[in-house]
Amino acid sequence: MGKKILPLKFDLVKFMVGKDEVSALELFDNAKITYEGERQLSYKDIEKHLSALRAAGLIEMVNAKLDGDGSLLCSYRLTDYGNSRLKYIPQD
Read off the pLDDT of residues 55-86 as tens digits, 9 standing for 90 and up. 999 999 999 999 889 888 999 999 999 999 99
Average pLDDT over residues 47-57: 96
Domain regions of the chain by residue span: 8-86
- pTM for the model: 0.88
DSSP per-residue letters across 46-89: HHHHHHHHHHTTSEEEEEEEE-TTS-EEEEEEE-HHHHHTGGGS
- Which one of 3.40.50.720, 1.10.10.60, 1.10.10.10, 3.40.50.300 gives the CATH number of domain 8-86? 1.10.10.10
State pLDDT tens for residues 7-18: 899 999 999 999
